[in-house]
Structure 1
Amino acid sequence: MRSIRKLSDEARSGIRSAYIITSVQQLTRELLDNAIEADSTQIQVLISLDDWSIKLTDNGIGIQKDSLAELGRSHMSSKKGSKGETLASISQLASLKITTRHASSSSTHTLITRAGHSVYFGLSLDGNRSSRGTVVTVTDIFANIPVRRKSLNKAREIHGIKSDMQSLALVHPEIAFELRNSQQILIQLPPKSHDTVSRFCEIFGYALAEHVEEINYHGSDHVVDGFMSLECAHSRAYQYIFVNSHLIVAGDLHSVVSTTFAESSFGVMANEPASMESIDASRRHAQRYPVFLLHIHIPSSILESTYDRHHRMFYIDNQASLSNTLKQLVIDFLVKYSFISPVAESYTSASNPRHSQATTLSKSVTANKRAVSDSAVSTQQSVRSVTSPQPSRDTKKAKNENASRTSQQRRTIDVHGINSTRTSKSDWLTNVLNKWNNPTYRLLKSTTATSVDSSESRRESFKLTKTDIENARVVGQVDDKFIMAVVTTKNALVAFDQHAVDERIRVERYLEALIRRDDIVLVDPPIGTLLTYEEMRTLGTNVETVEQWGFLIDIDIKPSQEHYGQVFVKTLPGVMHDRLIREPKLVQDIIQEAVARGMNESTTLNWHVMVGLCPPTLLSLVNSKACRNSIKFGDILSMRDCEMLLQSLSHTKNPYQCAHGRPTVNPLIRL
């Protein structure tokens, strides 16, 4: 056995660097953070992933000559709380060139490193800069880790860099940002005043922030400002939470806000007909997410020691108090715009300065809020008929209060009434019968029969495979609803739900045709669809997000930033073209969802792989069509029909349930 040896310093540095810098997006984000911390007001990024290079130029304070000499070495930093590993890691994974002129100097100096070693330090060979600032050029990124290059998706890296720059522009509106590649400018944001809403509208268009409620809360240990929008989005991409100007990844704080929104009627389509029956399930399925941007300010001494800048996470002792504050702020917003009814007397406003300490809700408030959430679900029918973003408060309040009382009473009956009835049963008769020796008929001890249909029994002793279904012997149709068959390999009698079986066969056939784009229908005239400016811009740079589902788009983005723009859909997937032509609003929902989800990296044509990436509305339409067109209860089937159904079912990917989750087969008895 070979002896264990300590890795060399170079090997350890390489491993550590590959762990710290995992992607081009993260590398760029670190350079952007450095430029912002240098008090820059203009930041330009030129990226070329064809030759794996990045160039960042800023007009910050610059780097002094003595400090520049130390850059690229581990644990050298001027920032409190920083580990000083970023530039050192970059120099290990790529070629690094830093050219800088400090504000107090008239000279420009350059540092060049390769593989972690300095190869040049001195006056700039390109001449003096005319003003202060720094240029960081990174080339040959991950050249010594080819597997890392191969694993990175270039389109996703560019998208991630754009998202990072947009988030930084939101929290630093006074800085001008520009991102470009060799072909075009991807982002160009001039400096703004300290107006977050205006910056948000500049980046994403005015449609998502046309009507907002600005937040300004001051507590004893934290301050929250920002806004919540009355508009909805088709993804969570427009939900931002910053802590001391640091973007926080989706986590507990996001969950608190999103869950509180979800428990209200916010996002329900108010422009739909009043009748619930007239609203198709596919329309109700379309998800709409809240849009919000919140800045949280806490003492820097708490954050500096706990913030993980690489993973954008922080740990704080009083996070429960902070979560309750966010929850109450959302409730304030929802009550103000009648998305939930106000809670009488026990309702506490988080914006009241007298309650800056009392951010933890009392038990009574929590209980009442649950009742409100129940009532919000109960009154969705009335909410859907409202066309204004601010429905009538009096009518809604009365309905919500009635529904709340009803839901509370119903819970009381379920919990206490039924349980009390069960526990009041007397056992005197059982004792008498157990002691009595019947001279004629001997009393048998009670036995417990375990049904073959129980989930535990099926899991342990009855597993039906596709081969079992294929070899099953059809006995016949029962009650024009079920197909009785004997599974010879299991020696058991089973019942197949004829509707669920046919629905499973059809939905897989439709999905395969959709993914393979076997049938594309030309639409004449094209269907006009209204999109927001940000959706138009995203679609213009990545039209494949929609075309991969069979929608060919004609788009013309004008340079002026309008609230909305129109695109024209020239083709539709043949599987659903009839329905989509009748209801063009569904086309808009599908396109918006596809744009929100982005381009799928997978190029496979296997429907069972791609179905998880399908726009929810489109998937719901396919499931609905399979259900409507399948065999119904009451349809008479011949023996041949039954046998063909089971043969087709055995060749499906998931033969055990229909498109909506109903079981296709139920075991009855063993023979």
Structure 2
Amino acid sequence: MSKIIKVDETVHRALQSQITLNTLDDFIRELVQNGVDAESTCINIQLKIKEEFDMIELFYKDNGVGIDPESLKDFGKRFYTSKLLETSKHGLGSLIHLKTFGFRGEAINSMLNACSSLQITTRVKEFNNGFGLCYINKDLVMDVQKSSTTIPVGTEIIIGGIFDPVPVRKQLLFKNVKNKHVNTIYEIRKVVFNSLVDHPWVKIDIMIEELDKNGRWNKRNIIRYSGYEKNQIETIPFQSQLKLFNIIFGLKISDNYELCKVQLKSSKLVAGIALSTAQSKDYQFVYLNGRPFINDEFMKIINQLFQKNYELWGDDFKICEKNNTNNIKNSKSKVKATSMYGRPYRINPIFVASFETRLDVFELLQDPSKSCYNTKNLPVLISMFTKVIEVYFRTFQNKIVKKEEIKNNSIKKPRITVESSTLKSGTRVSQFKTSELNGRLGDNNKIDSEVNNVYDLDKIRESLLEKQPNTYKEINIQEPKFEKEGSCTQCHDIFSQEDLKKQSTYFNSIKHLELTRSELKDFVIIGQVDKKFILVKYGDQIIGLDQHATDERINLEKMYENLIIESVKGKSKKFNMLENKIPIELLNGQVEILKYFDESLKFWGILFDINFENIIGLPEIILNKFHKIDYSVLKKGILEYCYNLKERKKLPLKEGYFDKTDEFWWMKYVTQMPKLYQEIIKSKSCRSSIMFGDPLSNKEIKGLLQGLEQCYQPFECAHGRPSLYPICGLGQQ
């Protein structure tokens, strides 16, 4: 039986926090946690949204111990609770023995302040009948009444007119309803998981019903979890928590995770870490003594530890994810999914971790929503989780090795032939695979008749050494500064003084070099060097252009411009319908976010069918890249873009939104396109550009310089490396 008493005066002065409920998930959190504290094993919640009637109702039911009639009289009063029966004797010190979520005596009172009516009916097993009372506009309208019908043991609550007393919150809530609950549903799932992570045996059902304009109810199950017998012995500890996680969020990690445990003196940590990854950090949960632990410093360090193992993690896509998806095209390809694009989407771990340490009263008093934000044991927690990550990747790596052993019967380290192309002038070595060099280092017979000036680098080197022996060692070289026209961001930070020394040992006293885009027309072509670089004269300076980086920059900007102009005109979604649909399997919450940002996806030419089960349209430049690998990369890239929109890291774009007054107006929107698009275009511009070893005629060199003059950012390639370098200055004759 749940007994409600008033919190001791000295205690409630220390605890009072003026709890406010601002969202639907706040209501659900308090009700679910009250049900858990009342030893419920079954909880049902029904949300009814009648937008046309400006009405939101919530129906709650559990099979907990109930509230006795005497205590029911104090239900809803501030500073009354059934959780702190010992504080009157032992004060706040008794909190270290606390086994419940609630203890402040404010949650139900806050509920009454945020709704127009609340009706409760409850029964304890000692009584044959139930008892109830009713509040309207936070005023008690009648004393405790005996129920006229027989009801089971437990509690039923009906809340009407949610947020009627707070119109601003209600307006935001209905706005979220119109936006397909993209935030609300995730937050509801999160608070339920937080409430049940230490009580995974509790069965819970949550449904949303919406009344449309035609008077029809649209029902949707948000959570349906069957729980299990509380006394059931788990075969594997913490497995039920991961099952709960799997069902609530639909991430399907139950059969694909590593369970890691660490103990340090009296502190324990158990963590389930998925072998798959996500584009959002929404699926990282840490608990301290059963309560959510939310600490930015801790989470930053943990995510950095995971990122250190990115390359190993990347094998997850090659080995693990292909076993869990049916959306694979040309699966014979052994190319790692992310290797073609760099990092086209975020790689974030998915994990549930639970710490058990000696309870500190300070941790309980930090947040009325029962979360913990700091602890004096933070260094210990970081150390323990670091060890868990080591165990995780060691086990993960062993699994990869075993998979290869089974496949090949023996482990053979792959042999990769690599050749080095170097400038013999102190420049950094460029690494190429043999396959990349084949056909690029051919004979000079392919040079056409327009090639007038092709120089041998060894002869240049000998000449420089004769004129300026070792002078470069004594020169204090100043960092050159490249400035672009207009409001462009200066890129001189790309070149550090140390980097410039590595680029060439033949600088003389160039103290300052400033270039704008318009000054590129003043370059005088000297010729090609070693079929790798183009030498030009600018004033009294000799400058070297990387022929590959130069052409790559030109191609990159053309592709960016064409795609953005095509998207602005709507061509990307009108003329790129796919002959064969691409099936995409989406999980809980992912459909909502795609529907919400459907217009932005269409702008970039990403079209889904009405049920969001298949992609039916893609820009050609994007589609062509996905014929060699499975489509899981495409799905992750699209979701990454939607999460960026949700987190306001990117702007949702629509037709008619653009200011085209500037010559390079389209460049402002490059950063707003999906990151996957950017990486694909960078890759394509690289592979389609002039390579080292390609001979160029003077006409072709002139064309390259003219193309570079027309670039928004002519001083770096697609990947941020310099496209040109100062070589030396010309002294007096």
Equivalent in the alignment of 1:574: 620
2:624 corresponds to which letter in structure 1? D
Other structure's SS at 1:227 match: strand
Tell me the residue number matched to 1:627: 686
The equivalent residue for 2:636 is 592
SS at match of 2:638: helix
Give the equivalent residue in structure 1 for 2:571.
Answer: 518
Provide the C-alpha distance between the structure 1 equivalents of 2:287 and 2:596, rounded to a whole number of angstroms: 28
* Distance in 2, Cα, partners of 1:185 & 1:526: 31
> Match for 2:653: what amino acid?
T
CA distance in 2, matches of 1:277, 1:180: 41
Partner of 1:531: 585
Partner of 2:605: 550
SS at structure 2 position matched to 1:320 = helix
What is the 5 A alignment of 1:183-222? 183-193=218-228, 195-205=240-250, 207-215=252-260, 219-222=264-267
Q: Which runs of 5+ in 2 are unaligned?
A: 1-16, 85-94, 96-102, 211-217, 231-239, 320-330, 415-472, 482-491, 497-510, 659-665
Displacement of 1:44 in angstroms is: 0.6
Rounded Cα–Cα distance in structure 1 between residues aligned with 2:513 and 2:365 = 50
Task: Provide closer, same or farther for how the CA distance between residues 638 and 324 of structure 1 changes in structure 2, counting only shifts above 3 A.
Answer: closer
Match of 2:385 in 1: 326
Per the TM alignment, residue 324 of structure 1 is displaced from its structure 2 partner at its CA by: 2.3
For the 8 Å contact 2:289–2:354, the answer to whether it is kept is: yes
Offset at 1:505?
2.0
Q: Is the 8 A contact 2:536 2:542 kept in 1?
A: yes
Equivalent in the alignment of 2:135: 111
Q: Secondary structure at the match of 1:44?
A: strand
**CA distance in 2: counterparts of 1:27 and 1:496, whole angstroms:** 64
Cα separation, 2, equivalents of 1:663 and 1:62: 71
Name the structure 2 match of 1:375: none
Q: Which runs of structure 2 are paired with 1:454-465 in the superposition (5 Å)?
A: none
Q: CA deviation at 1:121?
A: 3.1
Partners of 2:193 and 2:244 within 8 A in 1: no
| Contact 1:47/1:55 (<8 A) preserved | yes
Question: Matched residues in 2 for 1:249 and 1:89: separation?
Answer: 24
Measure, in 2, the Cα distance between the counterparts of 1:392 and 1:252.
43
Separation in 2 of the partners of 1:609 and 1:148? Answer: 31
Q: Is 1:163 aligned with 2:186?
A: no
CA separation in 1, counterparts of 2:679 and 2:597? 23
User: How far is the alpha carbon of 1:108 from its aligned partner?
Assistant: 1.3
In structure 1, list runs of 5 or more residues that go unmatched.
Answer: 1-15, 341-382, 400-445, 558-566
Q: RCO higher in 1 or 2 (8 Å CA, sep ≥ 6)? A: 2
Pairing of 1:262-301 with structure 2 (within 5 A): 262-264=307-309, 265-268=312-315, 269-271=317-319, 280-282=339-341, 288-301=347-360
Once the two structures are overlaid, the 10-residue window that deviates more, 163-172 or 601-610, is: 601-610
Please report how far the alpha carbon of residue 390 of structure 1 lies from its aligned counterpart in structure 2 after TM superposition.
Answer: 8.5
Q: Where does residue 374 of structure 2 map in the other structure?
A: 315
Q: Distance in 2 between matches of 1:141 and 1:662?
A: 58
Alignment partner of 2:58 out of 50, 55, 58 = 55
RMSD, aligned CA: 5.1
Q: What number of residue pairs does the alignment pair up? A: 542
**Once the two structures are superposed, what CA deviation does each residue of 1:203-235 show, in whole Å capped at 9, x if it has no partner?**
355842223444455554233335334444454
1:42 Cα offset (Å): 0.8
Task: Tell me, in whole angstroms, the C-alpha distance in 2 between the residues paired with 1:296 and 1:330.
Answer: 15
1:101 aligns with 2:160: no
- 1:571 deviation in Å? 1.7
Matched, 1:140 2:182: no
Alpha carbons 1:76, 1:84 under 8 Å: kept: yes
Relative to 1, partners in 2 of residues 1:469 and 1:229: Cα closer, same or farther, differing over 3 Å?
Answer: closer
Q: Is the 8 A contact 2:582 2:615 kept in 1?
A: yes
Write the distance in 2 (CA, Å) between the matches of 1:627 and 1:530: 29
Matched, 1:451 2:482: no
Written as runs of structure 1 = structure 2, the 5 A alignment for 1:39-54 is 39-40=39-40, 41-46=42-47, 48=49, 50=51, 51=54, 53=56
Distance 1:457 1:611, change over 3 A: closer
Q: Residues 252, 42 of structure 1: CA spacing in aligned structure 2 closer, same or farther, 3 A cutoff? A: same
Amino acid at match of 2:632: Q
Report the residue type matching 1:58 in the other structure: K
2-structure distance, mates of 1:666, 1:208:
50
Partner of 2:465: none
Instruction: Report SS of the residue matched to 1:575.
Output: helix
For residue 512 of structure 1, what is the amino acid of its counterpart? I
Does the 8 Å CA contact 1:499/1:631 hold for their aligned counterparts?
yes
Q: What TM-score do the two structures reach when normalised by structure 2?
A: 0.59
Q: Which residue among 201, 204, 226 is the counterpart of 1:176?
A: 204
Contact 1:235 1:289 in 2 (8 A): yes
Q: Quote the Cα distance in structure 1 between the aligned partners of 2:581 and 2:621.
A: 17
Give the aligned residue type for 1:320: P
Partner of 2:652: 603
- Are the structure 2 counterparts of residues 456 and 176 from structure 1 closer, same or farther at C-alpha, using a change threshold of 3 Å? closer
Residue 109 of structure 1: CA displacement?
Answer: 0.6
Taking structure 1 as reference, are residues 253 and 666 closer, same or farther at Cα in structure 2, changes over 3 Å only? same
1:475 equivalent in alignment to 2:519? no
Q: Residues 64 and 101 of structure 1 are in contact (CA less than 8 Å); yes or no, is this contact kept in structure 2?
A: no
Give the drift of 1:667.
7.2
Asked if 1 retains the 8 angstrom alpha-carbon contact of 2:494 and 2:722, the reply is: no
Structure 1 residues 640, 150: CA separation in 2 closer, same or farther (over 3 Å shift)? farther
Deviations 1:499-536 (A, max 9, x none): 35414523531552575453245455414446365588
Residue 192 of structure 1 and its aligned partner are, at CA, apart by 1.2
Instruction: Note if contact 2:182-2:592 (Cα within 8 Å) is conserved in structure 1.
Output: no
Supply the AA of the counterpart residue of 1:98.
Answer: L
State the SS of the aligned residue for 1:315: coil
Matched, 1:225 2:280: no
User: Residues 123-150 of structure 1, C-alpha deviation per residue, up to 9 Å, x if partnerless?
Assistant: 5999868453323342337415799679
Q: Give, in whole Å, the separation in 1 of the partners of 2:120 and 2:670.
A: 51
CA, structure 1 residues 167+259, in 2 after alignment: closer, same or farther (shift >3 Å)? same
2:710 maps to which residue?
Answer: 648
Report the CA distance between 1:285 and its aligned residue.
5.2
Query: Structure 1 234/542 Cα, relative in aligned 2: closer, same or farther at 3 Å?
Result: same
Distance in 2 between residues matched to 1:126 and 1:643, nearest whole Å: 90
- In the alignment, the residues of structure 1 paired with residue 669 and residue 165 of structure 2 have an alpha-carbon distance, to the nearest angstrom, of 32
| Deviation of the 1:603 alpha carbon | 2.8
Query: Which residue does 1:508 correspond to in 2?
Result: 560
TM-score for the superposition, normalised by structure 1:
0.64
CA offsets 1:376-411 (integer angstroms, 9 cap, x no match): xxxxxxx7x985599999959x99xxxxxxxxxxxx
Relative to 1, partners in 2 of residues 1:90 and 1:604: Cα closer, same or farther, differing over 3 Å?
farther
